[in-house]
Structure 1
Amino acid sequence: MPTTDLKSNISNLKSTYAIIVAGGSGSRMQSALPKQFIELCGEPVLMHTIKAFYNSQASPQIILALNAGYHQLWAELCSKHNFTIPHTVIAGGETRFHSVKNALDTIDDADALIAIQDAVRPLTSPDTIDKAYQCAAENETAVVAVKSRDSIRQVTNGVSIALNRDKIYLVQTPQTFQSALLKKAYEQPYTVNFTDDASVVEQSGIKITLIEGNYSNIKITFPEDITIAEALINKKSHQF
C-alpha cells in the first residue's frame, strides 16, 4: 500500500474541508435515536468525530450534512454539552451520495482538499486525517483502508470460492480528494453502485490511492460497537 510514509508537516496544504455525513438511522442499533447521537463516554458519537478533525493539523472547515429533521436535536445537544467547535450544518439528502452532493454545493474553492467522513467513526485519529489530506495533496485521492484479517469467500449462484485475503482491503473513512475532481465526479447521475465516495470518483475515471488505516477506526453500527469503542477510548486515555 503506497503513501504510508507521509510527511507529518502539512502546513503547506491548500484550504481543507471536512464533510461529515450523518444521515444514518438507529435501525441496526435497535434504537429509536440515530446512532450518531448515542452517547459514547458521555458525549454523542458525532461530537467525537468532529473533534478528531478539529484536533488535526489540517484544521479543516467542517460541514455537517444532517437530516433536516434532526437539526433542532443537534442544536440542543450542542447546548447541553457546551459543544462549541465551529461547523456548518446543512440538510442531508435522500442517500449518502445526495448528502455529499449537497455539501459540495456549498464549497466554491476548486483548489481545496475535501475529506468525507462517516459521522459514526468516532475513533478516527487526527494523524490518519492529516495523512489523508497530505496524500490527496500529492495524489489527488486518498482512501483509508486496512487489510482483511479474516479469510474471505465469495458466493456466486450458491457456490463459494476462497479469495486471497492479502489482496482484500476493508475501506474506511476519511476519503479525501482534490475538490475539482470530486465535484466533477458528483455530477454523475446517482446509481445504487455508489456505495461510498471512492466508488463515485472511480466511476468518473480517476485512480483511487489507498493509505493505511487503523483497525480501531471502527464504524458504530451495532449495540456492541459502543462497548468496544468505549473500551478503546478508555485504553487510550490510560496511556497518557
Structure 2
Amino acid sequence: MKNIAIILAGGTGQRLGDSIPKQFLKVAGKKVIEHTLDVFQNHPQIDEIAVVSNPNFLNEIENIAIKNNYTKLKKILQGGKERYHSSLSAINAYDGDKEINLIFHDAVRPLVNDRIISDCIAALDKYKAVDVAIKTTDTIIKVNEDEYITGIPARDYLRNGQTPQAFKLSTIKQAYKLALCDPDFKTTDDCGVVYKYMPNELVYVVKGEQFNMKLTYKEDLFLLDKLFQLKSIAQQNETITPKAQQKLPVSVIVVFGGSYGIGLDVVNICNGYGAHVYSFSRSENGVDVSNNLLVAKALKEVFEKEGRIDAVINTAGVLDKEPLVNMSYNEIYKSINVNYIGAVIVAKESYSYLKESKGVLLLFTSSSYTRGRSLYSLYSSSKAAIVNLVQALSEEWYDYGIRINCINPERTKTPMRTKNFGMEPEESLLKSSVVAAVSINSLFSSMTGEVIDVKIKR
C-alpha cells in the first residue's frame, strides 16, 4: 500500500518567541524542516511526501524543495490556524484516492529515525491508527483550578506522545467527519480524534525514542544541536557504502595529512576504489597546512590537472601532551597553527573549488573537544574550535551547496598516538582504517554541520 508522509509545518513560532517559525530555524547546518524531510526522503518505504505549510511561508518550502532536490515531495499544501486544520488539508488533498497510508509527522521533530517510521508502517498492516510514544519518567500530577493536587496516576501506563502518527486514509477521514459535527470539538493530535470519535477502533502504540524530541522552546534549540552532535556512526570494520563505491571512481579528493595514520588509510581506500586522490603533507611533499601559500598551491595543482575538486579532507594534526607552562612559545604557535589555523587555511583555500563542485569539506576533531583536560590544554581547545568552525561554516556556505562535517573518533591506533602513549591494548583502540572508512562514507552522505562520532561497538 502506498505510504504518504505528511509533514506538518504550519507553526508560527509563538511559543518560541521568534519572528521566524521554528521549522525554518537552523540547527546542525540545516533548517529544522530540512533535517526532517531528509529522513523521509531517504526512507525506502516512503513513496511520497506532502508538506502542509504556514500560508505565509509557501515560497520558502518551494525553495527548500528545489534546492534539496526532494524527489518524493509532490504536494505543498496550505495549513490553517489550528493544527487540525493542517491535518484536514492533507486528508482533503488525498480524498478520492484508493486506500493509502498517511504518516503525519511534526516538521519540528528532526531526529525521528528509520526504525520508528518502519514500525509505524508495519503496524498499519494490522491496525488502522498508530501512535508513537515513550514511557513517562516523571511523576504526573493532576491539579484543580486552585493548583491543588487532585490525583497522581500510576506511571506504569502513562506515555508521552510523539509523532509520527499513522492512519489508513479512510479511518482518519471518518474520524474527522464525526469530530467536525461536535460543536465542542477540540484536539491537539490526530490519534486523539480517532480515539474519541471512533471508540471501537484500536489505536496501537509504537515505541518512540527519547531523542525524537520536538522543538518548542528556545532551550530546545540547544538540546537539538547537542543531540545532532551525539549522533554516532559506530562501526567495527572497513565497510564502504554502495553509494560511496559508486561515486569514488568519478571523484577528485584532496587529503592533507595523508602520509600516515587515518589520512594514509583514507588515501589507500580511495585508491583502491579508483578515486582520483591526491595527498599532501610535510613529510611527503613539504606541504604544511599552516602555510596558506603552500595549501593554495597544492589545491591549484590538483584543479589544473583534474578540472575540479569534489572533496577536501584535512587530517593533519599534532598532539602535545604537556603542561602549558612547560611549552615554549614556538611549540605553542606550532600546535595552534597546525591544529586550528591549518584547518582554517584549508577551509578558506578550498572554498572556491568546493563552491564550483558543490563539494564537501571534512575536518577532524577529538573526543577531548567536549572538556578541556590537564596536559592537553592546546590540543583540546583547538579541537573544540574545529567543531565550532564546522558548525559556523556549514551555515555560511550552505546556500552554495558545500557540505562540511567533522569526524570525532574515539582513541585510535595511529603513529601519533603510539608516540605519545606507547603500546596500548589493541582491543581498547579503534583501527585507523575504520575511521577512514567512516570518513569516506560521510563524503557521500547528506549530512552537513555535524560531528560524526566513531566508536568501538561494545
* TM value normalised by structure 2: 0.47
- The 1-side partners of 2:77 and 2:219 are apart by 30
Identity of aligned residues (%): 28
Q: In the alignment, which of 173, 176, 181 is matched to residue 183 of structure 1? A: 173
Residue 62 of structure 1 aligns to a residue whose secondary structure is: strand
Query: Residue deviations 1:138-167, cap 9 Å, x none?
Result: 212210001111011111243313221111
- The 1-side partners of 2:59 and 2:134 are apart by 36
Shift of 1:94: 2.2
- Asked whether the 8 Å contact 1:19–1:116 carries over to 2, the reply is yes
2:190 is the alignment partner of 1:197? yes
Aligned to 2:70: 85
2:217 is the alignment partner of 1:227? no
- Asked whether the 8 Å contact 1:121–1:217 carries over to 2, the reply is yes
- Asked whether the 8 Å contact 2:10–2:55 carries over to 1, the reply is no
Aligned to 1:150: 138
2:97 is the alignment partner of 1:109? yes
Query: Residue deviations 1:59-92, cap 9 Å, x none?
Result: 231110012211123334455xx31113120111
Q: In the alignment, which of 201, 210, 228 is matched to residue 205 of structure 2? A: 210
**Structure 1 counterpart of 2:152, one-letter code:** A
- Asked whether the 8 Å contact 1:53–1:60 carries over to 2, the reply is no
2:15 is the alignment partner of 1:22? no
Aligned to 2:248: none
Shift of 1:125: 0.5
Shift of 1:17: 0.5
- Asked whether the 8 Å contact 1:113–1:137 carries over to 2, the reply is no
2:160 is the alignment partner of 1:170? yes
**Structure 1 counterpart of 2:113, one-letter code:** S
- Asked whether the 8 Å contact 2:129–2:171 carries over to 1, the reply is no
- Asked whether the 8 Å contact 1:149–1:165 carries over to 2, the reply is yes
Query: Residue deviations 1:198-229, cap 9 Å, x none?
Result: 01111231221111100100000011111111
Aligned to 1:10: none
- Where do 1:34-183 residues align within 5 Å? 34-78=21-65, 82-86=67-71, 87=73, 88-107=75-94, 108-158=96-146, 159-160=148-149, 161-183=151-173
- The 2-side partners of 1:52 and 1:74 are apart by 16
- Asked whether the 8 Å contact 1:56–1:127 carries over to 2, the reply is no
**Structure 1 counterpart of 2:87, one-letter code:** V
- Identify the range of structure 1 (44-53 vs 201-210) with the bigger mean alpha-carbon deviation: 201-210
- Asked whether the 8 Å contact 1:57–1:126 carries over to 2, the reply is no
Aligned to 1:31: 18
Shift of 1:192: 4.7
- The 1-side partners of 2:14 and 2:187 are apart by 21
Aligned residues: 225
**Larger RCO of the pair (alpha carbons < 8 Å, separation 6+):** 1
Q: Which runs of 5+ in 1 are unaligned?
A: 1-13
Query: Residue deviations 1:153-191, cap 9 Å, x none?
Result: 111243313221111111000000111111111213175
* TM value normalised by structure 1: 0.88
Aligned to 2:367: none
